[in-house]
Structure 1
């Protein structure tokens, strides 16, 4: 039991690794100083280390900077803990406090400060004195290492403070436990003709020309199972392999042609979070999240929701009259080699308006802006894309009638207004033309 307690203490202690770094830094400094004394401070020339005055100035600045950097790391760690406790879950604090990157940064900066101070004490004289050359070289190396670790720590902290970063932190550690206890054998689905994902992640990049070429060489058709941006769990189907000809895709063909998984999986990138590279729906999702969150309590900020709707309106208008990807990719002979599901016009309209409409049915600013956006989109969308817009108008009217009892409030909430309340027909006045008397 004492061994288990010791292992838990080592894993959960915030200060144990930094303390080890401090001890290592002290030993290095003592060792290099001993070597410098043994060689009468002549191991390295002053042309490399600088004069005693230069060395004192450099080390003094370096030691001061290390104190500031250590404070920065501790502050960022505490901010991350506070944000995680307030916005996500108090139970995630333990994982943040035992983050190895934070401990490494604290330990390195502390060890660098200690080495700089011990080396500074050994410098004698001003311009003609002695400089411990090996110790100065060690300080220079630690300076460079501290700069590199600082950049990496800022990047790591920025990634770790994201929602996906905190979720992945817990998910990855839990997955490591499963692998450690039960072996690295993921549950595989999809049948013998499926190519599965080895690791979990969001589908963020697909090299379609390379996949078409691979399918052409194997004389088969590849079907990409997840939609761009979908999260794929480990062992879940990533591709289905169908034989040629195309009729086999609909279930009329024989067994699929064998294809090595490595021929296709390295043409697909799974990441920890969705990106905008090939995922237009993710841009919609971010704007919708902003709008819905701004309407919810305690924020109650419908103006922000209107601003998000401005950009959603613009995006939908850009694609309203344009053909959307069909999901079929052909080789040089015109044979379909790769198929994938894509978001339809109806899907983009629902993504843009459904959640905001439900959350903002009682907010006149939001409903008026949605009415104006839908009316404008109907004016530019082709006939086959009108029905999703009509559906949104019907549902919006029903939601507004449920939210308001007074008929005049309902009428006002359903009046198209680009700015929510600001440029609608019921709140603006048009100057009437007046005849100008002619001079006599």
Structure 2
């Protein structure tokens, strides 16, 4: 294959790279922004560098222009040295305390809720700014100490004044951070943040800046068994699919090619397993394989860049942890179920991207692994209904949420009886039946069982839907 590339059509390869490159750049820039947003190092380092630059600039201004500081702020050199030394020591000590508080918060959130919700604590801008202010104040004071002349009549006024300003801002930031870190431990805020992130992605369906652009028109999937020998592109690394660009994948192959994506966003891939299959093999298979691999961003963890299902996974994990014997917090489980309902309602009403699309050049993209509404319903309720079965106080809100979703599907499709609508309603009805069966298997008290059966009857109270002819 390498020999083929050396002697292949370099103009064709350059054309494909030119078509794919903009989409890959967008994926990589989005991935970089996501990593930097979760970094506790990036913003503090920028603030630290800025404080060092400001320290040098103020020192030059003090030396050249502030020869008579009586009109501004005047400190003797000994007082300034003592003040700057105290501030520097206090800031570095406080930075250690803040890091300790952050570690404790992460441990509590991971144990009480789920390890997957920690990303919200890493992305907290207030915490990153506080760490940056503490480090910046420490570095500024250390540099300022080096510029204080003990033989002079006065200390550099602007430098000392800015050190005091940084100290005041740091104290305010500490108070704000303590307030936020205590509030962010509340489960309501955690599930609200996850739900809002998920709803933000759902609002872009079926196509949007993050979800992806439309590459063509929906078509019936072809019979790939009649297309001959395929070319299989394998994954080059292990990890979770964080992003992919359908436009880039299609642009990487010649016209009239059928491309089947063997994975989806949010799936785990193993190195050497099929990533993409295409019929027929292109004239330059190495270039197409390389460009397709670049169009799929794989990382060590799932993210919310394109992964709607990961939002449901986080909410479900919090609910499952609340229902565990170690935590035993049914109230939190109920709150999670209600939040899942607020996420599932717009999701079930949104249009999912077609799983077979043809562009204007005859290229067909097949995405059979993409989730549809029925699979989202299963992922939202399969585990929760199983572990909620012994708790009537949790099962009843769960059934009512399913009933609400069933009603919204019946009213939200404008009366159109489509196969997708029928499948979604059937999936909700199936979850109601399985929930009721699970409750009956627990040997619940007759009075509690009667309340659950009444809730199930209410959830199934919508008019029957028949499959369209």
TM-score range, shorter chain: 0.5 to 0.7
Q: Note closer, same or farther for the CA distance 1:120–1:324 as it changes in structure 2 (3 Å cut).
A: same
1:20 is aligned to: none
Q: How far off its partner does 1:228 sit? A: 0.7
2:260 is aligned to: 223
> Mapping of 1:379-390 within 5 angstroms?
379=407, 380=409, 382-390=421-429
2:99 is aligned with 1:77: yes
Counterpart among 148, 161, 172 of residue 120 in structure 1: 148
Q: How far off its partner does 1:54 sit? A: 5.0
> Is residue 241–residue 256 contact of structure 1 (8 Å, CA) maintained in 2?
no
Q: How far off its partner does 1:284 sit? A: 1.2
> Mapping of 1:28-107 within 5 angstroms?
45-47=63-65, 51=69, 56=75, 63-82=85-104
Counterpart among 368, 388, 392 of residue 431 in structure 2: 392
Q: Deviations over 1:370-408 (max 9, x none)?
A: 222233334435333333223222221222123234222
Query: What is the rounded CA distance, in whole Å, between the counterparts of 2:312 and 2:452 in structure 1?
Result: 24
Query: What is the rounded CA distance, in whole Å, between the counterparts of 2:341 and 2:380 in structure 1?
Result: 8
2:331 is aligned with 1:303: yes
Query: What is the rounded CA distance, in whole Å, between the counterparts of 1:389 and 1:312 in structure 2?
Result: 14
Q: How far off its partner does 1:124 sit? A: 1.8
> Is residue 328–residue 338 contact of structure 1 (8 Å, CA) maintained in 2?
yes
Counterpart among 421, 424, 440 of residue 401 in structure 1: 440
Structure 1 vs Structure 2 CA RMSD:
4.9
Q: Note closer, same or farther for the CA distance 1:414–1:266 as it changes in structure 2 (3 Å cut).
A: same
Query: What is the rounded CA distance, in whole Å, between the counterparts of 1:58 and 1:206 in structure 2?
Result: 56
1:23 is aligned to: none
Q: How far off its partner does 1:45 sit? A: 4.2
Residue 362 of structure 1 aligns to a residue in which SS? coil
Q: Note closer, same or farther for the CA distance 1:192–1:317 as it changes in structure 2 (3 Å cut).
A: closer
Q: How far off its partner does 1:81 sit? A: 4.9
2:279 is aligned to: 243
Q: Note closer, same or farther for the CA distance 1:73–1:223 as it changes in structure 2 (3 Å cut).
A: farther
> Is residue 89–residue 138 contact of structure 2 (8 Å, CA) maintained in 1?
yes
Q: Note closer, same or farther for the CA distance 1:376–1:334 as it changes in structure 2 (3 Å cut).
A: farther
> Is residue 378–residue 386 contact of structure 1 (8 Å, CA) maintained in 2?
yes
> Is residue 334–residue 397 contact of structure 2 (8 Å, CA) maintained in 1?
yes
Q: How far off its partner does 1:341 sit? A: 1.4
Q: How far off its partner does 1:125 sit? A: 1.0
> Is residue 288–residue 352 contact of structure 1 (8 Å, CA) maintained in 2?
yes
Task: Give ranges in structure 1 of 5+ residues lacking alignment.
Answer: 1-31, 33-40, 90-100, 159-190, 245-253, 421-440
> Mapping of 1:214-363 within 5 angstroms?
214-216=252-254, 220-233=257-270, 235-237=271-273, 239-244=275-280, 258-260=285-287, 261-320=289-348, 322-337=350-365, 339=367, 341-363=369-391
Task: Give ranges in structure 2 of 5+ residues lacking alignment.
Answer: 1-55, 112-127, 182-229, 411-420, 460-469
Query: What is the rounded CA distance, in whole Å, between the counterparts of 1:255 and 1:44 in structure 2?
Result: 68
Q: Note closer, same or farther for the CA distance 1:321–1:115 as it changes in structure 2 (3 Å cut).
A: closer
2:231 is aligned with 1:196: no
2:449 is aligned with 1:410: yes
Q: Note closer, same or farther for the CA distance 1:104–1:367 as it changes in structure 2 (3 Å cut).
A: closer
Q: Give the count of matched residue pairs.
A: 311
Q: Deviations over 1:128-147 (max 9, x none)?
A: xx8699xx79x99xx9xxx9
Q: How far off its partner does 1:74 sit? A: 1.0
Relative contact order (C-alpha < 8 Å, sep 6+): which is higher?
2
Query: What is the rounded CA distance, in whole Å, between the counterparts of 1:267 and 1:49 in structure 2?
Result: 61
Counterpart among 228, 245, 268 of residue 207 in structure 1: 245
